[in-house]
Amino acid sequence: MIKVGIVGGTGYTGVELLRILSQHPEVHIQVITSRKEAGTAVAELFPSLRRRVTLKFCDPTEAALEGCAVVFFATPNGIAMQQTRSLLDSGVRVIDLAADFRIKDVAVWEKWYGMSHACPELLADAVYGLPEINRDEIKGAQLVANPGCYPTAVQLGFLPLIEAGIVDTDHLVADTKSGVSGAGRKAEVHTLFAEASDNFKAYGVPGHRHLPEIRQGLSNIAKKPVRLTFVPHLTPMIRGIHATLYARLTTDTDLQLLFEKRYAGEPFVDVLPMGSHPETRSVRGSNLCRIAVHRPQGGDTVVVLAVTDNLVKGAAGQAVQNMNLMFGLPETLGIDHVPLLP
Per-residue CA distances from 212 to 139, 147, 154, 274 (Å): 25, 12, 12, 31
Residue 164 DSSP SS3:
helix
The H-assigned helical ranges of 223-289 are 255-262
CA terminus-to-terminus distance, the chain: 34
Residue 110's SS3 state is helix
Q: Give which of 150, 241, 235 is closest to 196, Cα–Cα.
A: 235
Q: Which residues contact 206 (CB under 8 A, 6 or more apart)?
A: none
Residue-wise DSSP of 15-39 = HHHHHHHTT-TTEEEEEEE-STTTT
Q: Rounded to whole angstroms, how far apart are CA atoms 153 and 291? A: 9
Active-site residue numbers? Answer: 149
Q: Do you find a cis peptide bond into 212, omega within 30 degrees of 0?
A: no
Cβ 175 vs Cβ 199: under 8 Å = no
Count of Cβ atoms closer than 10 Å to residue 99 Cβ: 24
Q: CA-CA distance, 225 to 216, in Å (whole number)?
A: 8
Residues 6+ apart with CB under 8 A from 209: 99, 112, 113
> How many beta carbons lie within 10 A of that of residue 50, not counting itself?
12
Other C-beta atoms closer than 10 Å to the C-beta of 187 total 6
